[in-house]
Structure formats: C-alpha cells, structure tokens
C-alpha cells in the first residue's frame, strides 16, 4: 500500500468538511475466540486473521484477548459499511495494524478496498478495547464528499 493510501485511512483531514458514511460497533467474548482456536487451530486463525494480526496477537501474554479485539474490529467495519462479512468482503480483506504509538489503524484490500473507494471513504477510524472476558471495537467511516 502506498504512503498516500496509508495516510488516507489513518489521518482525518480536519481542514475538509466530513460526512459520516457509517458507524459500526461489536462486542466479542474472549472465550469464544479461545474455543475456536482450541477447536480449529490454524485453520480458524488463517481464515479470519492476517499474518500480521496473528503474529502480533500470538506474541502477547493473552493472545485470545487481542484476537477477539481484532475480530470485533472486522465485524465493526462490516457493520459500518452495512454489508456484513461474506459476499461484499472477506475477513482477511480487513487488516488491523498498530502505529508505533500503539494506535490501531485499518488497511483494506481486495473487495473491502474497492468498496471503500466506491463509497468515497477518505478516513476509517477504529478503536479497540478488551478486558479479561470481553473485547470491543468501534469504527467510523468518513468521506469528504457529500452523500445522498
């Protein structure tokens, strides 16, 4: 992804009027992710998460908490687009990464990137949080173009 695309989704252009295209929120029980890992192992991980998401989460003391937050983030993105996961975009088309300061950001690929371009998304903001038992994510998609 070029630097222009990276900035496109990680920095809100505050000098431009913004229009909210969609908001999505999701809450996941961490034990649900733990059970999926125990039951399906790598098959589950590779179907849902990108290599970077797996590498980061598995390096943490409680990987299921970080994976659950990313799972919630992917669901929140799909809700913000109003599409769900499946026909419009796949799990791995939504990549949740971290800046050097720890702030999460989104990178879309394939159908998710195409949908973002079609809808005029200029900013995709995400926040993640987790506790021992739950993980949540909130996503806001914005555009500088007026929406009908």
Pick the catalytic residue from 61, 66, 79, 87.
79
Q: Residues 57-83: pLDDT tens digits?
A: 999 999 999 999 999 999 999 999 999
For residue range 23-58, what is the model confidence (pLDDT) as tens digits? 999 999 999 999 999 999 999 999 999 999 999 999
Catalytic residue status for 79: yes
pTM, two decimals, is: 0.86
The one catalytic residue in 61, 66, 130, 134 is 130
Residue 148, Cβ density class (10 Å: 0-12 exposed, 13-18 middle, ≥19 buried): exposed
């Amino acid at each position: 992804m070029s630097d222009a695309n990276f900035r496109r989704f990680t920095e809100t252009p505050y000098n431009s009027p913004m229009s909210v295209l969609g908001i999505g929120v999701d809450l996941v029980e961490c034990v649900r992710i733990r059970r999926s890992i125990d039951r399906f192992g790598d098959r589950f991980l590779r179907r849902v998460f990108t290599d970077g998401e797996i590498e980061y989460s598995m390096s943490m003391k409680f990987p299921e908490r970080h994976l659950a937050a990313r799972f919630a983030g992917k669901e929140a993105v799909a809700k913000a687009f109003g599409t769900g996961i499946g026909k419009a975009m796949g799990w791995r088309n939504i990549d949740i990464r971290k800046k050097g300061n720890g702030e999460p950001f989104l990178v879309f690929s394939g159908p998710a990137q195409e949908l973002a371009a079609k809808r005029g998304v200029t900013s995709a903001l995400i926040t993640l949080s987790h506790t021992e038992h739950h993980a949540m994510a909130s996503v806001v998609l914005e555009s500088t173009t007026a929406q009908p």
